[in-house]
Amino acid sequence: MFRILTIALFLFLFSSADSFAEPSLKVEQVIEEKSVLTGKEIKGKLILKNNGDELLKILGVSSTCGCTTLKLKERRIKPGNVVDLNFVVDTRGKLGMVEKTITIHSNDPETPWKEVVTFHALPSGMEGADTQAIFTPACSSCHIDNGINKKHEELYQAVCAMCHTNAKFNSQGETLTEMITKGQKLIAMPAFGEHLNEEQINSLVEFIEGKNND
């Protein structure tokens, strides 16, 4: 009888220990340069480590926009092992402090993991950034296509919020309208005049002025 109880206790403890085993994702960020001239690529990697005691499975990786490309070498990480997730950021059309978020989905119970890559895009001479680069095919899907047929806050969230999260601008009225229409390179504002109609631009001005007056 004692032997049976001992075996049963062993099996219970073994199964309990196994039920608490799980993968654990930890991320270390390595970036080659934190400041580059606008137009130069930012290169780096996220080192994904499995700190748990079960196989870690990377289910998917994504970035905030198409200007950040990702390359994952392996999706299955054994306990104690690491895998590199390489990234390249196209800085065309960007100026000043820039943040890009990389999201990692896995079988870690605390998924998803969000890693923010931060860098400075410095102006190349007095002309500033090539702000119109965001309308090229590689970038337009994020920066302009999402705004088709939208107005007011919906349009702002689609095409502006990626770079200007809080909708706070010093300019108002005709000055703000002209800045949106013709652009302002010194603050990396591209010219939307050829990509948004007058009604859309006016709706953006109304929305921004409303937020500034809140």
Domain boundaries, the chain: 23-124, 130-212
- In this structure, are strands 35-37 and 113-122 parallel, antiparallel, or unpaired? parallel
Judge whether 23-124 and 130-212 match in fold: no
pLDDT in tens, 178-210: 999 998 876 678 899 999 999 999 999 999 988
Burial of 112 (0-12, 13-18, 19+ CB in 10 A): middle
Q: Is there a contact between 162 and 153 (Cβ–Cβ < 8 Å)?
A: no
Cα–Cα separations (whole angstroms), residue 114 to 12, 192, 207: 37, 31, 30
Pick from 30-34, 47-51, 122-126 the range whose average pLDDT is largest.
47-51
Between 11 and 52, name the one with better pLDDT. Answer: 52
Residue spans of alpha helices (H) in the chain: 2-19, 137-143, 152-159, 173-182, 198-212
Pick from 64-68, 123-127, 198-202 the range whose average pLDDT is largest.
198-202
Give the chain's length.
214
pLDDT at site 20: 66
Q: Is the pTM of this model over 0.75?
A: no
23-124: CATH topology is: Immunoglobulin-like (2.60.40)
pLDDT in tens, 4-23: 545 555 555 555 445 568 99
Q: Is 19 helix (H, G, I), strand (E, B) or coil?
A: helix
Between 148 and 171, name the one with better pLDDT. Answer: 148
Q: Which sign, positive or negative, has the C-alpha torsion 155, 158, 159, 162?
A: positive
Sheet arrangement for strand 35-37: 35-37, 113-122, 96-106, 56-63, 76-77
pLDDT in tens, 132-167: 777 877 677 777 888 899 999 999 988 888 777 777
Q: By C-alpha distance, which of 88, 68, 99, 96 is closest to 189?
A: 96
Region 130-212: CATH code: 1.10.760
Buried b / exposed e along 166-186 (16+ C-beta atoms within 10 A): ebebebeeeebbebbeebbbe
Cα–Cα separations (whole angstroms), residue 25 to 72, 115, 126, 160: 15, 12, 44, 33
